[in-house]
Amino acid sequence: MQVGLLIIGDEILSGKRRDSHLAKFIELLGERGMQLAWAQYLGDDRELLTARLREAFASGDLVVSCGGIGATPDDHTRQSAAAALGRPLALHPEARERIWQRVQQTAAEQGTTADPGHPDTLRRFEMGVFPEDAGIVPNPYNNIPGFFVGDVYFVPGFPVMAHPMMAWVLDRYPQLHREVGVVERSLIVQGAMEASLTPLMEAIETEFPGIKVFSLPSVDHPQWGRCIELGVKGDAERLDPAYDALKRGAIQFGAHISTELVR
């Protein structure tokens, strides 16, 4: 099972809001020895969202979707999820109760009386309208939940809500947690071209299954100038032999190694 992230909102694509979900999700995954396999940014377009969510539900991946689950006209994620699943939308009873608790709390703080039939309350209940048979993702910030169907989870776009909800999702999958996380070792190589090093990279991946080789060229690095960061990443217990082979190959090629890095 791979892990994917969907970040939804026109405000992200237009630059009105800066995304913080990607970096935080990678951090939360790293704390559990996990890795992000893919991520997508999507606008508030119902047809596009429906198509992408249909793919997510069919993928078998663990997917977290951030944003667009509110009840205003520019929020389409809940409706798109239902369409992708071919299910009707329905007010989730637990979500309704959690939202009602929030309404009562807010009324008490303001010194007013909560009314379950008030138009504002009814609009708030709409935030608990999810695809039929969805589960609940608790929201520790204001108790207005997200939802999930299968292994696809939906959380709000607000980072203060989304980030603890992301952690809750990941903790539901202890079988994906790894005590030994993915690490990297790399070389700063000068005096070589990427194309010339490609056969070495291919040979390392063939000899050490499960290890990925990467190459990050720079033409004006502030410290090393024109160079290539050439490295391997994977499980710590299998990394060292692959790195040693990579280093030997680079030296035999005649490249100059400026420094070595571990992450």
**What tokens does 242 get?**
């692959």
The fraction of the chain above a pLDDT of 70, given in percent, is 98
Quickly state the pLDDT bin for 196 (edges 50, 70, 90): confident
Domains recognised in the chain with CATH numbers: 3-176 (3.40.980.10), 182-262 (3.30.70.2860)
Average pLDDT over the chain reads: 93
Residue 261: pLDDT band (50, 70, 90) is confident
Radius of gyration, alpha carbons of the chain: 24
Q: Which of 187, 100, 177 is nearest to 145 (CA)?
A: 100
Going by C-alpha positions, the residue among 32, 39, 41 that lies closest to residue 182 is 32
Residue count (the chain): 263
Rounded to an integer, what distance in angstroms lies between the CA atom of residue 64 and that of residue 158?
14
pTM confidence score: 0.82
Decide if pLDDT at 180 tops 80. no
- pLDDT score of 191 more than 90: no
Helix/strand/coil (H/E/C) assignment for every residue in 41-79: EECCCHHHHHHHHHHHHHHCCEEEEECCCCCCCCCCHHH
* Residue 99 clears pLDDT 90, i.e. is over it: yes
Of the ranges 23-27, 239-243, 259-263, which is most confident? Answer: 23-27
